[in-house]
Amino acid sequence: MEHMKVRGNGIDIHVAIQGPSDGPIVLLLHGFPELWYSWRHQIPGLAARGYRAVAPDLRGYGDSDAPAEISSYTCFNIVGDLVAVISALTASEDEKVFVVGHDWGALIAWYLCLFRPDKVKALVNLSVPFSSRPTDPSTKPVDRMRAFYGDDYYVCRFQEVGDIEAEIAEVGTERVMKRILTYRTPGPIIIPKDKSFWGSKDESIPLPSWVTEEDVTYFVSKFEEKGFSGPVNYYRNFNRNNELLGPWVGSKIQVPTKFVIGELDLVYYMPGVKEYIHGPKFKEDVPLLEEPVVMEGVAHFINQEKPQEILQIILDFISKF
């Protein structure tokens, strides 16, 4: 596997690449609090089938730059980074890429398809449907979440600058990573200020078979270098993004799309999400959407928990184009 930096959109973006240089590109976008590393199982499988797998660390993560300003983490900034990566790695401006996204990577992939459908051949998105589509720019998504879940809902806790960063520093990066990666409750993440969410420091957090201590060590090493401010700043732009998306209210995703979610994924249990996925609206918003897949017994980190199954879904879908 090759690692390189792409200079574009004003920052250096780290990408992991494997596969033939002339193979069709598959751009793999991670979520919170993951890194390119969350695609470690799919990258070799895609490369073995002749694709060029490209997994960036999104801005603020891993070995990519992490601008200090909160305003540097809007959907426009992040999509701009991806367009820069695509432009740097494709042979011509007309060449399109396949895109696979999970969690925040999925949300950004929707926006990439919304803003620059000319860059995307087909999309496979995991965990996050297009329910965060552009709506009335005057509404504030964080206020709605606070009204529904309360001040201790994780998105609300992430809003105050420095607050969650200080809590993570006190709890310890390793415990935080293990707690998040092993979270399987099909419901909202509530993080009370008494730090009870993280459990006692005396209690070990057992890892599932699909997460090794080596995996945790890698994640921890990168977050201890870079900190959590960049990743958390994505959440601090929820309200701002909704304002910026005003010109796209009513727009549809005009890209062939496959969507997969875990039956135990906390996103699946957010208000209105099940109804959106299984009702008519998702297909209306994404006309080229194939029938969504709900994987039984699988939680949020679906690409890590079921790596071979997800790889096969990706291959089966993109091989059509």
pLDDT tens-digit readout, 156-201? 999 999 999 999 999 999 999 999 999 999 999 999 999 999 999 8
In Å, how far are 108, 127, 172, 251, 256 from 287, measured between CA atoms? 19, 19, 45, 11, 8
Measured distance CA(87)–CA(207) in Å, rounded: 39
Instruction: Give Cα 150 distance to the centre of its chain.
Output: 24
Q: What is the mean pLDDT of residues 70-78?
A: 98
Q: Which of the four pLDDT bands, split at 50, 70 and 90, describes residue 208?
A: very high
Measured distance CA(35)–CA(26) in Å, rounded: 16
Does the reported pTM lie above 0.85? yes
pLDDT tens-digit readout, 131-155? 989 999 999 999 999 999 999 999 9
Domain extents in the chain: 2-319
Q: What is the mean pLDDT of residues 76-85?
A: 98
Mean pLDDT of the chain: 97
In this structure, the strands spanning 293-295 and 257-262 are parallel
Look-up of token digits 């709900």: 294
Q: Which of the four pLDDT bands, split at 50, 70 and 90, describes residue 119?
A: very high
Q: Among positive and negative, which fits the CA dihedral 151, 111, 312, 271?
A: positive
Fold for the domain defined by 2-319: Rossmann fold (3.40.50)
Residues with catalytic roles: 103, 235, 300
pLDDT tens-digit readout, 223-259? 999 999 999 999 999 999 999 999 999 999 999 999 9
pLDDT at 279: 97
Q: What is the mean pLDDT of residues 273-294?
A: 98
pLDDT at 195: 95
For residues 36 and 49, is the Cβ–Cβ distance under 8 A? no
pLDDT at 142: 97
